[in-house]
A and B are shown apart, each in its own frame.
Chain A
Amino acid sequence: MTGKANPDAKPWKVMTASGRMDALAGAELEKTCHEAIQAHPQVALDLRTVVYMSSAGLRVLLSSLKLASSRNGKFVLIGPQELVRETLEMSGFSRIFQIVDDPSLLA
């Protein structure tokens, strides 16, 4: 469907994570995600280049989602790869998070 974008739509802030989302990368990523969430009502995390997600990575996702919810904001995941998707499904996160394949699908 073509047409003008909804002028009332709030803008999305897209953050990108890549490589291994584990304990090492987690602390830094959590900081940047939280800062983005505090500054923008709608934040999306692009996971398309993330190859592995450990429980430390999941914890960052969880704490970010909780922060966004507490501010009535949104925190959405973009394009997790096969292995990461399996991790999200097994942990139950795929039922709690909104996941889109592509940034263009952010509404």
Chain B
Amino acid sequence: MTHLLFSLINNMAVVLVVAYLVTRATWFEKTLGGKVDAEAQVKIGLIFALLGSYGTLSGTTVLNAAANTRYIGPLIGGLLGGPLAGLTAGCLAALHVRYFGNDIAMLPSVISTITAGLAGGIFHACTTRRTGTHLEVTGATLFAMVVQIFHQSLLLLLIRPFATAWELVNAIGIPMFLANAIGTGIFFYFLSNTNQERLTRQQRDHYLGQKQKIEGELSVAKDIQMSMVPKMHPRAPEWPEGSLYASLRSAREVGGDFYDFYLDPEGKLIVTIGDVSDKGVPAALFMAETRTLLKGMCEPGQMPHELLERVNRELEDGNALSMFVTLFLAKLDFATGELWFSSAGHNPPLIVRQGRRVEWLKLPPGMVLGAFATSTFTTERIVLAPGDTLLAYTDGVTEAMNPEGRMYSENRLETTLQGMAGGTPQELVEGLDASVKAFARGAVQSDDVTLIAVRYKGRG
């Protein structure tokens, strides 16, 4: 009996290898999803009919009866492809048995082979209808066992004399039962692995698609932001009475920072810097709206706090997400060096006096823009002497974090600026930006880093 068992196991192994290769075919993978079309069923039928024939050819003869794994082929074919596949495989394999086999177990074998294929196919159809998939290891294995018992019963029923039948079943029953059942089980285990791979691949593709979509949005946000801020190239802004330089380094998720400058109708220089709450496309759009309002509502002779109040009322209206923007707004009179300024919740800027002494500019209190329609603001005034520089920034500078979780801080900003106090606006801005970058030491930049420096040269 052991020799028979090993022989059967060998045959089983061959069947499994072929079956495994089939599962790697692309057309076959498609059937794992559920519905198997007629073309695929016929293909499966033919392949597994051949496997059935191999079973017949490679089988061992015991007591003049073939003991083999012939109907594993049609059984699996049916389980995989459905009734059409099973029937095709079963009939073709049975034909082989009928015309080329010559043993006492021929009739039961023919019946079993066709039945195995058809039953497998019906089992496929039932499982698919019940659970949505035909790939069930335990179900298939149990089914294979049932088919085995059916075959053995047929042997007992149809072979005469009964004594011979009984002897046959005793000799080959258990090995065949084991080989076929285990073989089916292993095969379906292969299949469920392949199916798992397929599902994982689908999930991965889905996530890749999502990721691309998000990257697309981030790119749009960045484009909006960059189109709104004045460029420093090819020429940095310069007037007889002063010069200016600015830089904006976006975080990956655009943080809504912006800066702007222009000469108002009276020839005075207006400088703004701001930071919108939130990130991404909503922040970029809110920033674009703010900038447009600032430019559009600007009037000659208007005090900064008046402009802030008007822009604030417009921003608050229709602001369903409770977004807001901090803003520092200054107006420099080139003739006198007077700097009029107001703030809506923005960080206090610095003044470098005569390229030597650094001091903080004390800001009047002010609520962020867009929060409350009734917010009021105050304008303050200082006088810049020729050679003085105003340095404004957003909290992306002072709140930049290094890998240890420490923040750049206002102290460090003051000290660093002091160390380069004699520089031009471009040198100051680029130097501070480099300092923030060096401090962060590669830690992820979570907010936009924006700096703007304005030097007053005076008239005459």
Residues of chain A touching chain B, judged by Cβ–Cβ distance below 8 Å, are 22-23, 54-56, 58-59, 62-63, 66, 90-93, 95-96
Contacts and interface: CB of A to CB of B under 8 A. Distances in A.
A90 B345 contact: yes
Interface stretch (B21-29, B115-123, B260-268, B317-325): B317-325
Contacts, number: 53
B347 interface: yes
The 4 closest A-B pairs by CB, nearest first: A92-B367, A63-B322, A55-B277, A91-B345
Contacts of B322: 59, 62-63, 66
Interface residues of B, number: 25
A7 to B, nearest CB: 35
Given A55-B278, A56-B277, A90-B345, A95 B365 contact: yes
B403 to A, nearest CB: 16
B279 interface: yes
A58 B375 CA distance: 17
Contacts of A66: 322
B344 interface: yes
A24 to B, nearest CB: 10
B365 A92 contact: yes
A90 B344 CA distance: 9
Contacts of A91: 326, 345, 367-368
SS of B interface (majority): loop
Interface of B: 275-279, 321-324, 326, 344-347, 365-368, 371-372, 375, 395, 399, 446-447
B277 A58 contact: yes
A59 B277 contact: yes
A96 B367 CA distance: 8
Contacts of B323: 59
20 contacts: A22-B446, A23-B278, A23-B279, A54-B447, A55-B324, A56-B277, A56-B278, A59-B278, A59-B322, A59-B323, A59-B324, A62-B322, A62-B324, A90-B347, A91-B345, A91-B368, A92-B344, A92-B371, A93-B368, A95-B367
SS of A interface (majority): helix
A56 B321 contact: no
Contacts of A54: 399, 447
B191 to A, nearest CB: 42
Contacts of B367: 91-93, 95-96
Contacts of A62: 322, 324, 371
A23 B344 CA distance: 22
Given A55-B275, A55-B324, 16 more contacts: A22-B446, A23-B278, A55-B278, A59-B278, A59-B321, A62-B322, A63-B322, A66-B322, A91-B326, A91-B345, A91-B367, A91-B368, A92-B345, A95-B367, A96-B367, A96-B371
